[in-house]
Amino acid sequence: MAKENLVDSFYTLGLDTVGDKIGYKKIPHLQKAAPPTQEKVKDEITDTNNRQEEFAIVNFKKNGDIEFEVVYDPKDPTHLKLDQMFKDNSYGYFEYWLVEAKQGKTFDAQLMSWDEVTETKTQKLRKKGTLIISNVTPITTSKTQP
């Protein structure tokens, strides 16, 4: 197997601060964020005389949640947008981009949790959040600006 085709797992998470889904701003100081996930659902279709279960995949997907963490900057527009989303339960529009693979996903999300992290005095203030996602769409071109 050729190793030269493998790519690194660098990624960015962009947030549309305007709300038009045309451009996204990279969320600065992002420490971690899981990629958006989807899972197909199954339907049990076992006949009444079968002695084992039988399933079929349904053309329906369940979206996963995204947990993420940032070093918080109270003056950054993306961090302020996250604050506002949590305050008023509004939706945000995001882009998760795999930098070297040149692929990613856009999605809509609400912020389920947005908590300060003050575990140690040797770190800047961090915030952890959980995004509840919907409308996941694969993309091959990034619209996230630095």
Domain residue ranges in the chain: 11-145
CB atoms within 10 A of CB 126: 17
Dig out the tokens for 138 from the structure: 């694969």
Q: How confident is the model at residue 2 (pLDDT cuts 50, 70, 90)?
A: confident
Q: What is the pTM of this model?
A: 0.88
Per-residue pLDDT band for 146 (boundaries 50, 70, 90) equals: confident
pLDDT tens by residue, 21-54: 889 999 999 999 999 999 999 999 999 999 999 9
Does the pLDDT of residue 1 top 70, yes or no?
no
Q: What is the largest CA-CA distance in the chain?
A: 65
Buried b (16+ CB within 10 A) or exposed e, 68-102: bbbbbbeebebbebbeebbeeeeebbbbbbbeeee
**Residues forming beta bridges with residue 53, ordered by sequence position:** none
Which pLDDT band holds residue 63 (cuts at 50, 70, 90)? very high
Mean pLDDT, the chain, whole residue set: 94
For range 2-18, the mean pLDDT: 91
Residue 46 near residue 115, CB atoms below 8 Å: no
Of 88, 86, 95, 89, nearest to 16 (Cα)? 95
CATH number for the domain running over 11-145: 2.30.110
